[in-house]
Chain A
Amino acid sequence: MSRSTIDLWVGVFVVVGLGAILFLALKVGNLLIVTNTPGYHLEARFDNIGGLKMRAPVKAAGVVVGRVERVRFDPKAYEAVVTLRIDPAYQFTKDTIASINTSGLLGESYVGLDAGGDTAMLKDGDRIAKTQSAVVIEKLIGQLLFDRASDTTGGAKK
């Protein structure tokens, strides 16, 4: 086989192979949304974020509308500050409530947005005022046990 035919085939192979990597990156990994889409930022403060991690989904009515971009701790207010990057196609009202939920009993944590009735919309850099922290199962169980214990001791006194 002549050298130019081999060169042609190798060129085709490399182009197709790189195309496959590009397909994986863009169509499967959805790299475009992560890096290139501008998106606008919202800030939400939580007392406890539970298992929320960076890049966790932000969902409204169960639909992914953005990602958690940054999680940091505010040492003055003793709160977690979560920066959300929201797809610019979606707008949320000023009185939106941000809550940290878990998909399923043991699934991954995500930020849920529940829009309110306000007419003004949140803009880039705004803070979501109303938030609901993560439910920590250990605390819940601890509280339950404590309640039961106080109930039984209270009953014994009577």
Chain B
Amino acid sequence: MPAEAITGIVESLRRLGAGLTNAVARLGFAARFLIAVIVRSPTAFRRIHLTLREIYFSGVLSLVIILVSGLFVGMVLSLQGYEVLNRYGADEQLGMLVALSLVRELGPVIAGLLFARRAGSARTAEIGLMKATEQLSAMEMMAVDPVARVVAPRFWGGVISMPLLAALFSTLGIYGGYLVGVKLIGIDAGSFWGQMQAAVDWRQDITNGIIKSLVFGVAVSLIAVFEGYDSRPTAEGVSSATTRTVVASSLAILALDFVLTVFMSRGVGV
């Protein structure tokens, strides 16, 4: 084998190793960052209006997109579900189909994805820009801890908003499903709700959905504030950090959803 080819292979192996070490190092940094945020949270909560302000920016301002998407997802689900169920003469199961798929999966996941795009990217850009314009360094100069003053409120604002947004998404989705199923197609309202209530379990379905949305909230908020805090302090660095936030949090939501579903469905039975 020529020496050139061997050095080529060695070089690509080295690049692979460097990429992997870098990724692991960033993961460790992110975990330590999470601990730092939680440790400094009591300081942040002493000035609670900072967190309330962040709930306003990531929660209240995301309401419109969450509510409208929820309504449309529910309506589409109802239409498509009816197509299939009607084939087996099981139209009345529509309520169950819509409610279960929204409460278990679609509510937390789609609300999480929308939340990552709508609020997560904004958080990253905000913190990244603060870093680029050296506002964070200025705070440190004034003996104000930027993690407690800037990062922790944004983190908790996201964590608190996310489960509420997911629940609203599911609720609006079920209402959209009701509108299409009962008002438009003409399924009996009693069996629509009755089948839903017989099938949806508080512990297995709704609580698990809330747990999922809470986990997604932590993941998206952590990725958003971490990417912002870790971004290169240039215009390009902020833009690439924002992109990374959206990509990483979307992947994190989908992967975590799978892992959580595996654990939750193992608990079924007995």
A86 to chain B, nearest CB (A): 15
Query: Does B248 interact with chain A (Cβ within 8 Å)?
Result: no
Count residues of B near A (Cβ-Cβ below 8 Å).
33
Bound-complex Cα distance A64 to B164 (A):
32
B206 x A29 contact (CB < 8 A) = yes
In chain B, what residue has the closest Cβ to A63?
A: B194
Query: Does B52 interact with chain A (Cβ within 8 Å)?
Result: yes
A29 x B201 contact (CB < 8 A) = yes
Query: Does B159 interact with chain A (Cβ within 8 Å)?
Result: no
Interface size class of A (residues with CB under 8 A): 20 to 34
A92 to chain B, nearest CB (A): 19
Query: Does B231 interact with chain A (Cβ within 8 Å)?
Result: no
Bound-complex Cα distance A44 to B171 (A):
38
Stretch at the interface among B5-13, B35-43, B54-62, B74-82: B54-62
B206 x A25 contact (CB < 8 A) = yes
Q: Mark interface residues in B219-243 (1 if CB within 8 Å of A CB, else 0).
A: 0000000000000000000000000
Which residues of B are found within 8 Å of A16, using beta-carbon distances?
164, 168
Q: Mark interface residues in A1-24 (1 if CB within 8 Å of B CB, else 0).
A: 001001101101110111011011
Seen from chain B, the residues whose Cβ lies within 8 Å of a Cβ on chain A are 49, 52-53, 55-56, 59-60, 63, 99, 103, 161, 163-165, 167-168, 170-171, 174, 193-194, 196-198, 200-202, 205-206, 209-210, 269-270
Bound-complex Cα distance A9 to B52 (A):
9
A24 interface neighbour in B55, B59, B63, B103, Cβ under 8 Å:
B103
- Given A28-B103, A28-B200, A31-B202, verify A13-B167 contact (CB < 8 Å): no
B171 x A24 contact (CB < 8 A) = yes
Bound-complex Cα distance A53 to B198 (A):
14
A-B contact count (CB 8 A): 81
In chain B, what residue has the closest Cβ to A1?
A: B56
Bound-complex Cα distance A64 to B269 (A):
21
A42 to chain B, nearest CB (A): 19
A28 x B60 contact (CB < 8 A) = no
B197 x A17 contact (CB < 8 A) = no
B205 x A3 contact (CB < 8 A) = no
Bound-complex Cα distance A18 to B99 (A):
18
Query: Does A143 interact with chain B (Cβ within 8 Å)?
Result: no
Residues 24-43 (chain A) with a chain B CB within 8 angstroms: 24-25, 27-31, 33-34
A6 interface neighbour in B56, B163, B168, B205, Cβ under 8 Å:
B56
A24 x B56 contact (CB < 8 A) = no
B214 to chain A, nearest CB (A): 12
B196 interface neighbour in A3, A7, A28, A64, Cβ under 8 Å:
A28
A135 to chain B, nearest CB (A): 21
A15 to chain B, nearest CB (A): 10
- Given A13-B63, A20-B168, A55-B201, verify A28-B53 contact (CB < 8 Å): no
